[in-house]
Amino acid sequence: MLYTSTRRKLNPITATKAILQGISSEGGLFVPTKLPKMDFTVDELSKWSYQEIAYRVMRLFFDEIQDEDLKYCINHAYDEKFDTKEIAPLVHTKTGHFLELFHGPTIAFKDMALSILPYLMLTSKRYNGEEKDIVILTATSGDTGKAALEGFANVAGTKIIVFFPQDGVSEVQKQQMLTTEGENTCVIGVRGNFDDCQSTVKEIFQDQVFAEELSSKNYKFSSANSINVGRLVPQVAYYFAAYGKMLRDGKVVAGEAMNVVVPTGNFGNILAAYYAKEMGLPIGKLICASNSNKVLFDFFESGTYDRNRPFFLTESPSMDILISSNLERLLYHISGEDTELVSDMMTALKEEGKYAVTDKMREGLKDFYGGYADDVKTKAYIKKVYEEEGYLMDTHTAVAYAVYDDYLKETKDETPTVIVSTASPYKFTHSVMTALDSKYEEIGDFKLLEEMHHLIKGDMPKAMDQIETRKIWHKEVCDVSQMKEMVRKFLV
């Protein structure tokens, strides 16, 4: 299994090289030269542990990594850091099947991939005789940052630098990041939005002169954003796990299609579902849920991707994105691997802020359905589902639920459907509690943790323990134009 770029025909490289490098030198994303097919049955899925499923899926993408090494990575990633042995439990309520991806150390779905990425990275280093320190450079809309910090803090031979939009993350998210310990960590607030952070990080990656300067100091950049295949591939596994559980619980019969609804920002999570489907997992529709930043909804409606529009800060901040990086991989696949076309589209996106897909490519989008929900609607669903079904959703999951309800009304499609639940409600306490009752309006995130605890059974997640009083280690804030300088300052 080898990897090539979405923007250029190059000599394919190995998975471990793609993981180390993060992004191709001309700015393209690494993609498998051919998507593998599942070589096991859905009945087997219903019997296997999460770790076994992850192994059976990931080995198809990373066949270069020896079995015992891959198992080592998986067993160290999906261990007691997660608060349930199931790792990704499927919870059935009256109206929904929720795939809960928030049982890891930072209580959002980014843990599913970022708890394993450091192990894959170290394995890749070893396989390639890479002796330089790996510098993980990451832009975050809130959740990736903390999950990456959690994964890489104190990992020998790595450093991690995280940029986040200073005013674009929740109070809890910010506190989680700023209180990270570890000599090798650096967290910086940026006066700008997530797209500014992400674009600048991509530019820093492509800056060859800077790369050489750092190389001479024994550093090599890599990425923990979902542009890294080492993050994408582990995410494919939980769709297989979800199907196994739907089967185990009698919600589908073997081979019957299952739809998925995914609250989407950078398009990584839903792309993983698309990969699972292409590999042969019986997935029907891929329902892509957006908040008011509904650039993807408009794209699925019209075939034109247009980021020229106002940017909204919403109550589902991890989806406040106008440039969904991983869509580039989908464009590559549905264009028949036309690197020139993808490259032109990405240039148009950079220069004019938009591009349109061809009619042929639109064919390839037929299994996707786009929908969106604004904050008012999202919060109404949090209240409704809590009151009617006793299940408390976070704002991101609620966007997905709202879009699913619209989809049902519009299509009457009764295919069993899994709603991907990407964050614990504890991570967005203010938004969730005010959705239930406006009396919480004046109370901050931290004060509402206990109030929320009264509503939810079970222990409060460890991630929230004493969160308010932890020591702040990171205090730096910068402009977008200063980001590169901040990197230099931390490293030398």
Ligand X SMILES: *Cc1c(COP(=O)(O)O)cnc(C)c1O
Which residue, 121 or 420, is less far from ligand X as judged by CB?
420
- Nearest distance, CB of residue 209 and ligand X, angstroms: 30
Torsion angle defined by CA atoms of residues 381, 390, 270 and 3, in that order, rounded to the nearest 10 degrees? 150
Rounded CA-CA distance 402/379 in Å is: 9
Q: Which is nearer to ligand X, 417 or 421 (CB)?
A: 421
Whole-number Å distance between alpha carbons of 468 and 464: 8
Whole-angstrom distance, CA of residue 7 vs CA of residue 227: 14
What is the spatial distance between Cα 45 and Cα 29, in angstroms, rounded to a whole number?
Answer: 30
Residue of 34, 81, 110, 220 marked catalytic: 110
**How far is it, in rounded angstroms, from Cα 269 to Cα 272?**
5
Active site residue 377: no
Binding site for ligand X (CB under 6 A): 108-110, 143, 226, 263-269, 318-319, 396, 422-423
Min dist. Cβ of residue 96 to ligand X (A): 16
Looking at this protein, which amino acid is placed at residue 444?
Answer: G
Greatest alpha-carbon span in the chain:
61
User: DSSP 3-state assignment of 192?
Assistant: coil
The residues, ordered by sequence, that sit 6+ positions from 87 with a Cβ below 8 Å of its Cβ are: 50, 51, 78, 103, 241
Q: Please state the closest distance from residue 485 (CB atom) to ligand X, in A.
A: 27
Q: How far is the CB of 451 from ligand X (least distance, A)?
A: 21
Nearest approach, Cβ of 275 to ligand X (angstroms)?
13
Report strand pairing: 368-372 vs 283-290.
Answer: parallel
User: In a 3-state reduction of DSSP, which class is residue 92?
Assistant: strand
**Closest distance between ligand X and the C-beta of residue 490, in Å?**
24
For residue 478, give the amino acid letter: C
Output 19 or 270, the one with its CB closest to ligand X.
270
Reading the block at residue 183, the tokens are 């000599």
CB 73 within 8 A of CB 119: yes
In angstroms, give the least distance from the CB of 291 to ligand X: 10
Q: Which is nearer to ligand X, 125 or 396 (CB)?
A: 396
Give the residue carrying structure tokens 């989407």. Answer: 264
Indicate the residue among 22 and 247 with the shorter CB distance to ligand X. Answer: 22
Query: Torsions phi, psi of 160, nearest 5?
Result: -135, 130
Cβ-based nearer residue to ligand X, 125 or 329: 329
- Integer-rounded Cα radius of gyration of the chain: 21
Whichever of 21 and 269 has its CB closer to ligand X, that residue is 269
Which helix (H) or strand (E) segment holds residue 389: the answer is helix 375-389
Active site residues: 110
